[in-house]
Structures are given as structure tokens and as C-alpha cells.
Amino acid sequence: MLFEQISQKPFFILGPCVMENQELLYTVAEKVAEAGQKYNVPVVFKSSFDKANRTSIHSYRGPGLEKGMEMLMNVKQRFGLPVTTDIHEPFQAAIVAEVADILQIPAFLCRQTDLLVAAAQTGKIVNVKKAQFLSGHDMFYPAQKVIEAGNNQVILTERGNMYGYNNLAVDFRNIYDMKAFGHPVCMDCTHSVQRPGGAGGKTGGDRTFVPMMALAAKAFGADGYFLETHPDPDNALSDGPNMVKLHELDKVLAPLVG
């Protein structure tokens, strides 16, 4: 049902980067649910239980798998929202699938066959983020791994390519190229403005460009939009420079649903 919905309407994957605490998730999920009702579009709540690829070993990673699934289930039950989170190891797939409606494959891991197959075998939707070192054409093969593992519910997500050190650039032609495979294509509007590892032991970025990234993706035919959001991103525990301020979320979404 959810995959049919996101295949027919613009869809949004929204939430804070990492699960800092339960109250943060409730605060953001309330706004996500309101957006879905206001615009009559599918919305999915996202947050990570473990940021396994942080720049520094001292960076906050999240509450972990067990506690994270509890927190995500609380959001799902309170607001009636479908939910998603990322997995990093094959064993996590079945555990996360007990709660999540979509399993997200991180960009750095999109070529990991065992991870893709484990996600596919849960029967849940699999959202594969395009690696920063791959083209849109290259994403045929990660998608095919999911399909040949018996699951046709695939989303492909654009999130930019490395452009020298500590910078990303988006080639929006990748959206058009990935759509040719017949899967819904999502634009990750917030991770695309990152400067990986470019802020002294942590990732920097500039949220100023998020609305423009989204509108450019719309022009190239994006089916969905991934945006991380936080009530106080400047004090967030992960990816703060890139997240949309929660009170500005509606202003970013409105032009995308028309």
C-alpha cells in the first residue's frame, strides 16, 4: 500500500538526523504528520538509531538498535506515521523490519551485496541512496540486487557526488537517468548540501541551498524528497548545518506539492 502511494504522488521522507531523545522525535513527528494531512501526500518519518559513519570516533552516534527501535515504534504508534531508518549490517535488516516500513541503505554502503539482499528479503521497501562516487546509470546494479533477491519495492535516492575534498556537487541528470529504471526516485535535499568532514572533525554544510536543491530536483522529475529537520539544528548532535529549521519546513515543502 505505501509503495503504491509513493509511486503515484510526491512523497516526503522527513525527520531529525539522529535519535537524540524521544521528545525530539515526538516534536518533529507532529509537524511531519501535520504536513502530510495539509498537503494530502505520503509522508514518512525518518531518524537514525546509529550514525555508524560519523567523522570522529568521539561524535554522538545514537541510542543503538534496541532502544532506537523502541523510540521509532513509539512515534509510529502515537502519530500513525510510516517510519524509516538506515541499516549498516545485514543482521540489522530483520530486526529493523519489525518496526520500519522502509529500510534505508546508506550511500557509502549501496554496493554491499549482503546488506541489499538482507534488506530485500524482509519484504519491506528498500531505499538505496546513490553513493557519492557513482553515477545515476551505475545505480541500475544496486537496484537489480534488491530485485533479484525477490523484492520489487525499490526507491533510489540522489545525494550528490564528491567534488574535490570536503565538498559535494549535484548532477541533476542523475535523477532523470535513475527514473529510466522504473523506480521512484527521491532527492536527498539536505545531505546534498554537506561538506563531508569539512568542519574540523565533523561534517559541515549550508542549509541555505536546501530549498533550491529541492526545486531543481522537481524540475528534473523527482518523485520524492528527503529532508532532515530539527527545531534547533545549530545545536543538533549530528548534521546540524544541513538540517532545515523545523519552523521553516512548511515553507520548503509548499512549492514541491503544487
For residue 215, pLDDT beyond 60: yes
Which three three-digit cell numbers place residue 220?
528534473
Quick one: pLDDT at residue 198?
Answer: 56
DSSP 42-69: -EEEE-BS--TT-SSTTS---S-HHHHH
The phi and psi torsions of 106 (rounded to 5 degrees) equal: -60, 150
This prediction has a pTM of 0.95
Please classify residue 62 by burial: count the beta carbons closer than 10 Å to its beta carbon, then call 0-12 exposed, 13-18 middle and 19+ buried. buried
Q: What percent of the chain has pLDDT over 90?
A: 87
| C-alpha cell recorded at residue 195 | 561538506
194-195 and 168-169 strand pairing: unpaired
What's the confidence (pLDDT) of residue 16?
98
